[in-house]
Structure 1
Amino acid sequence: MPRPATDAPPAPQDDHAPPPPHDGPPSDAPPAPHDHPVGGVEPRRRLHPLSPALHGAKSLVVVVAGLSWSTLSRVGFGWFAAMATVLALGATVLAVVSWYNTGYHVVGRELRVYEGLLWRRTRAIPLERLQAVEVVRPLLAQLTGLAELRLEVVGGGKTEAPLAYLGVAEAAALRQRLLALAGPAPHPGTAAPQPSPSAEPTVAPVPPGRALHAVANRDLLVSQLLTPQAFLLPFGVAFVVAQFLSEGSWSFIAVASTITAMAGVLLQPIRRVLDDWNFRLARDEGTLRVRNGLLETRAQTVPLNRVQTVGVTWPLLWRAKGWLRLRLEVAGYSGGEADDRNRPDRLLPVGDQETGERIVAEVLPGVRLSGLATGLPPARARWLRPLGWRAVGAGLDERVFAARSGLLTRQLTVVPYARIQSVRVTQGPAQRRLRLATVHADTAGGAGAAALDRDLDEAWWLAAELTARAHAAHRAR
């Protein structure tokens, strides 16, 4: 269990360890307040000194957006700029104070993050619960040579310990180190190596891995043109033009409002193109490596043994080209994340059936996507799903449980038996009258898969079979 967010006790000291040096650690980052290396425990490290400047720049964008165009029209450009400058400077001062009180270091198999202004807190993150580590570089970070490290842990409702910002080399070294510590614990008779307090972080050469697939940017652009937003764009433009002409004014405020409204129509497809630009997928011996992004680049490392489910989606407008989309479910990512682009669980933004088959076989060895058979629910389920009855199905494969759903946008969820945490059988009022039930296979990621509207006897048999296969898979691990 993760420790509570309180001041963590100091790590035990080695009675035979050499005394700490008196001249302080020769690290590029200045030591945090009251931070003196003791024995073999490394000192705390601060974030990069440019971090407050980047946070202040982000605050300026938020402030300008919050003041809105109506404020500009009322007070004029001079007062508007003065207000934005004062608020941004105040935010920068707070960012500097926050940076001074923020630090991190690794103690054993824990990452400890210290932060807070008035109320200081310490977060101790057990690395055995680590699911994935991302190195994210927003546009400003790219321009200044910095990066942000994001951690995903089991049971986390949001990203843990976002360290913003570190140098690119330091972020890469810390990611490698955390993933190594997140592996199996050393033998009880073997002492885990502790870094010297004065040692600088080093970047070991990272093998490039075996390339699996690279998404063509042209396909990415075409896929976003084949979306409802793109087809509704002419109607949105016509509405905006009608509103623009009815105003009878060609003022700056009217132009800005028109551009804002049109940007709102195209926002989601544009975001997806920017997020998935230059998408590259590679595999190491036991990890997946994902790189993507244009304005904000991401380098994500996901251990394959942390993957809970694989989701396949066939959007309606993509079927003519035979395209699909693949997603991972990894324990630690919040399934209810409001902003879908903040969920770094993409496996394939767009690709054909053959590519999808090959990638699924890499993630789930021995599983053939086209060979997953799913049976229909009984005919009386039509009373509940008059249009989508034939779009629902479920089946048991040798290694995985598969469930499909969706009428216009077809979806298939594949769950390895070894990832099933619990099995549930649920019935609604209408299902009870029709002797139907739904079987849920829950995973550590939270979503899992569900066999919808099965015959009641079949549902209980399916639940028992899933439980037995899950137990056998857990014992075999």
Structure 2
Amino acid sequence: MTEPLPPADPVAASPAPPASPASPGSPAGPGEEPRRRLHPLSPLLRGAKSLVVIVAAMSWQTLGSVGLGVFALLVGVLAIGALVVFAVSWLNTGYHVVGRELRIHEGLLWRRTRAIPLERLQSVELVRPLLAQLAGLAELRLEVVGGGKTEAPLAYLSVRDATALRERLLTLARRVGAAPAGAGGEAAAAGDAAPAEAPAWQLHAVSNDDLVLSQLLTPQAMFLPFGVAFVVLQFLLEDTWSFVAIASTLTAMAGVLLQPVRRILSDWNFRAARDGDDRFRLSYGLTETRHQTVPLHRIQNVQLTSPLLWRPKKWLRLRMHIAGAASPGGNDAQRGDRLLPVGDQATARMLLWHAVPGADLAAVHTTPPPPRTRWLHPFAWRSLGAGFADQVFATRSGLLTRELTLVSYARIQSVRVVQGPLQRRLRLATVYADTAGGRSGAARDRDLDEAWRMAAELSARARQAREGLSSPHGAA
């Protein structure tokens, strides 16, 4: 295994954020920094997003029934109403850091204050949707330990302010978490000045050409011409070519075309870097750019995927499960857990070594289940497997799309042996290595005696790995 390259090309330190005006009627308390507002363009951008959603919900049928003039009037009224609502909300929204908390104040009739303890802060993601990019703005999305969704997004700030605030919160969170209970106030006070961004060095940059080609080598792209032909055929069979029919057809075609394009736009210009604080720094996206920071101690497992059409080029996709990370809208395609959208085995091996220190992809070997498993999986039983490596428990599955899941022993929360009715007749069992958040490595359909031995070995290795962690951040 080759050693990682030494740090190079450190990222320049972020400048301190300028003092934003305090909210009217909200004077800062003794020793507190003034409450700051969001960017003045925030109401306009939030109103525009809401207006697009409302117009899309009204659909082309509404336009056909009420006419173009009434439809335009409704859109104008809704636009003014949304702008007024968000302007009032902006006037009563503010944020500041008080001691060991980030406090966000909002509401006019019903005032609400969110207090986010910095020791629970998981990550701070800087996101720039298309409208925000055009306006030179960004939003911050906060992930906290145990949270089911993104907490208190700050939309929108200038890019300079958002970058500086992001680094400040992450630095304060590390200081508060590392400080003793009685020294928390001093640690927070010491971090009130905007910190310099930790030096980072780039690990890998995904070629956009490879990204486009990889998405063309997917079943969705292969069947795309058939989908377009079906939509066009439906349009040609219509008796009349009304405006509503044309618009509906174009909308349907857009839905077919955008499905394979969405992942390309999402993973465009993917960059993976490391800093001196044991964190991944990921940046990606074209129409919506994201800058994500992932602490290594929050990575629970890594999954390697090899689709059928990628195998001639020996390409892989890497995803990581991050404890406490929320999935926006429950859409897995939008999750921020990508580690390598597409790459070769050498790149995957290098990134795995950084994600799970000491884990070597070349040293991972698995053994298949007993031949009688073919009664449960007539075609795919040879694709199943499980095995132990020095740092990870490996399980594989998948016939057309091969998947290899690597679970770090130190992240295993529990070990289960499960038998279904058919498995009991065949003396088979499945061993699950559970991690935080419910993601598991599953050794499917092992011989019953082997399954119990495997469970005992997993428990012993997990206990030994946790006892051997020298860092307080090593456990999940």
TM-score norm. by structure 2 comes to: 0.88
| CA distance, structure 1, for counterparts of residue 108 and residue 455 of structure 2 | 51
Q: SS at 1:155's partner residue?
A: coil
Tell me which residue corresponds to 1:415. Answer: 407
8 Å CA contact 2:318–2:341 kept in 1: the answer is yes
- The letter for the 1-side match of 2:445 is D
| CA distance, structure 2, for counterparts of residue 28 and residue 400 of structure 1 | 48
Tell me which residue corresponds to 1:11. Answer: none
Tell me which residue corresponds to 1:352. Answer: 344
Tell me which residue corresponds to 2:11. Answer: none
TM-score norm. by structure 1 comes to: 0.88
8 Å CA contact 1:288–1:303 kept in 2: the answer is yes
Identity of aligned residues (%): 64
Compute the displacement of 1:438 (Å): 1.5
Tell me which residue corresponds to 2:166. Answer: 175
What does residue range 22-421 of structure 1 map to in structure 2 within 5 Å?
27-31=19-23, 33=25, 35-183=26-174, 184-187=177-180, 190=183, 192-194=186-188, 202=194, 204-206=195-197, 209-285=200-276, 286-334=278-326, 338-421=330-413
8 Å CA contact 2:327–2:334 kept in 1: the answer is no
| CA distance, structure 2, for counterparts of residue 189 and residue 80 of structure 1 | 62
| CA distance, structure 1, for counterparts of residue 295 and residue 208 of structure 2 | 26
| CA distance, structure 1, for counterparts of residue 328 and residue 132 of structure 2 | 28
| CA distance, structure 2, for counterparts of residue 453 and residue 337 of structure 1 | 33
Q: SS at 1:310's partner residue?
A: strand
Compute the displacement of 1:258 (Å): 2.0
Q: SS at 1:247's partner residue?
A: coil
Compute the displacement of 1:150 (Å): 0.9
8 Å CA contact 1:357–1:370 kept in 2: the answer is yes
Whether 2:442 is the aligned partner of 1:450: answer: yes
RMSD: 2.2
| CA distance, structure 2, for counterparts of residue 440 and residue 108 of structure 1 | 42
Against the structure 1 CA distance between its residues 335 and 415, is the aligned structure 2 distance closer, same or farther, given a 3 Å change threshold? farther
Q: How many residues align?
A: 448
8 Å CA contact 1:41–1:195 kept in 2: the answer is no
Q: Deviations over 1:424-447 (max 9, x none)?
A: 222222222222221111112321
- The letter for the 2-side match of 1:143 is L
- The letter for the 1-side match of 2:456 is A
8 Å CA contact 2:128–2:137 kept in 1: the answer is yes
| CA distance, structure 2, for counterparts of residue 173 and residue 362 of structure 1 | 26
Provide structure 2 residue ranges, at least 5 long, that are not aligned to the other structure.
1-17, 470-476
Q: Deviations over 1:55-102 (max 9, x none)?
A: 101011112111111122222222111101111221222212222332
Provide structure 1 residue ranges, at least 5 long, that are not aligned to the other structure.
1-25
8 Å CA contact 1:229–1:266 kept in 2: the answer is no
8 Å CA contact 2:138–2:159 kept in 1: the answer is yes
8 Å CA contact 1:32–1:45 kept in 2: the answer is no
Against the structure 1 CA distance between its residues 194 and 331, is the aligned structure 2 distance closer, same or farther, given a 3 Å change threshold? closer
Q: Deviations over 1:246-282 (max 9, x none)?
A: 1133333232222211221122221111111111111
Q: SS at 1:172's partner residue?
A: helix
Q: SS at 2:30's partner residue?
A: coil
Q: SS at 2:330's partner residue?
A: coil
Against the structure 1 CA distance between its residues 337 and 57, is the aligned structure 2 distance closer, same or farther, given a 3 Å change threshold? closer
8 Å CA contact 2:419–2:429 kept in 1: the answer is yes
Q: SS at 2:59's partner residue?
A: helix
Name which of 454, 464, 472 aligns with 1:472.
Answer: 464
Compute the displacement of 1:118 (Å): 4.5
Compute the displacement of 1:288 (Å): 0.7
- The letter for the 2-side match of 1:469 is R
Q: SS at 2:170's partner residue?
A: helix
| CA distance, structure 1, for counterparts of residue 228 and residue 209 of structure 2 | 24
| CA distance, structure 2, for counterparts of residue 318 and residue 175 of structure 1 | 37
